Amino acid sequence: MAQLRSSPHKLAAMKREVLLSSPFFAHLRPEEMDELIAHSQERRLPRGSLIFSKGDPGSFMLAVLSGLIRVGATSAEGREITLNVISPGEIVGEIALLDGRPRSADAVAAEETVVMVIERRFFLPFLIRHEGLVERMLVVLCDRLRRTSSALEELALLDLPQRMARTLVKLAGDYGTPTANGVRIELRLSQRDLSNLVAATRESVNKQLRIWREAAILDLVDGHVVVMNMAALYRLLGE
């Protein structure tokens, strides 16, 4: 990973902003925040670069300052599955950082990404010195476990249109920008990316997108999904 070149003041401000937006660190006292930032490093990751692989040692965690990280796995048959998309203000790698065990998934920069790196050798002593932070981390980890259970339930109980509708509604909420035609999802995801997120084949996703385009529910414009009829997606979800 190449070293990021920028002014110390700008980097510190970026780091502070991402830490404040994270449930793990949002309530740190100013001196605790300064201590954590002082011992962090920043890196620029080119699009497509492998950050870590499943089985690698868990010696650091990353906070995304800008860009996007895709966390996923590959089955024995070579099928790729996207487990999570980490956007600015979010953290990846904290589980392996805490227990020191090997990574449970792969992480790849989905676009040019700037990250803050916090290494385990510094973080564990920091964590021990600040007991309140331990409690907040446990809350966040429990929340992630619940979300994982919910995702597995969706795979088992929802059909493809429902899974796609739920995914697009969430993406529109997280990355949507209102336009004259609807809500434009600013996150660039290929049909392959979307198929991984909903655990379906690219052909099935392409077919469903085509049906929704013909029904004027959504459109694809310059590589972005524009949801033109959000109510139709909510109806599929019974909401």
Q: Would you list the DSSP string of 141-198?
A: HHHHHHHHHHHHHHHHH--HHHHHHHHHHHHHHHHEEEETTEEEE-S---HHHHHHHT
| 69-86 pLDDT tens trace | 988 877 666 667 777 888
How far is it, in rounded angstroms, from Cα 105 to Cα 72? 6
pLDDT surpassing 80 at residue 58: yes
Is the Cβ–Cβ distance between 81 and 70 less than 8 Å? Answer: no
Residues 92-108: tens digit of each pLDDT: 887 777 788 888 889 99
Torsion sign (Cα): 1, 137, 168, 160: positive
pLDDT for 3: 41
Question: Which tens digit of pLDDT belongs to each residue from 94-149?
Answer: 777 778 888 888 999 988 999 999 999 998 898 888 777 777 777 777 777 777 67
Ramachandran angles phi, psi of 193, nearest 5°:
-60, -45
Q: What is the pLDDT of residues 170-216, one digit of tens each?
A: 889 888 889 988 999 987 777 777 887 787 888 999 999 999 999 99
What confidence score (pLDDT) does residue 1 get? Answer: 38
Q: Which residue ranges form the domains of the chain, and what is each CATH number? A: 2-156 (2.60.120.10), 158-236 (1.10.10.10)
Q: What's the pLDDT at 76?
A: 65
